[in-house]
């Protein structure tokens, strides 16, 4: 079963770019993950419809972390600000993999 990595940020635009970098890093390592991004305002409905394995938050919505950790039964983490700024898809992918127990 393919695992799903969901990214959420303020508008969904910056994380959409990061999704491409994560997908490229996963392809390079021959890993099969579904990766998608959404705006934080849509996160709840995306969580219900997509059932992701892990949720990674953009640094600008880190305030959502405590509530989401209480509500969800999947790992939730804020993306490292430096990795986010540099769009380091490989680092973000490996952080997500650790949270899912795949590394």
What pLDDT, in 10s, does the model give residues 28-74? Answer: 999 999 999 999 999 999 999 999 999 999 999 999 999 999 999 99
Superfamily (CATH H level) for 3-100: Response regulator (3.40.50.2300)
- Please give the model's pTM, rounded to 2 decimal places: 0.94
User: Please, are residues 47 and 68 in contact by the beta-carbon 8 Å criterion?
Assistant: no
Percent of the chain predicted with pLDDT > 90: 91
Could you state, in order of their start, the residue ranges of all structural domains in the chain? 3-100
Would you please indicate which residues are annotated as catalytic (active-site) residues?
A: 9
């Amino acid at each position: 079963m393919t695992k799903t990595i969901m990214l959420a940020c303020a508008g969904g635009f910056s994380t959409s770019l990061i999704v491409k970098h994560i997908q490229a890093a996963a392809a390079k390592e021959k890993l099969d993950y579904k990766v998608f991004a959404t705006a934080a305002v849509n996160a709840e409905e995306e969580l219900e419809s997509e059932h992701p394995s892990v949720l990674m938050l953009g640094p600008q919505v880190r305030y959502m972390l405590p509530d989401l950790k209480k509500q969800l039964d999947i790992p939730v983490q804020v993306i490292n600000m430096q990795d986010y700024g540099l769009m380091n898809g490989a680092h973000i992918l490996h952080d997500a993999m650790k949270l899912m127990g795949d590394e």
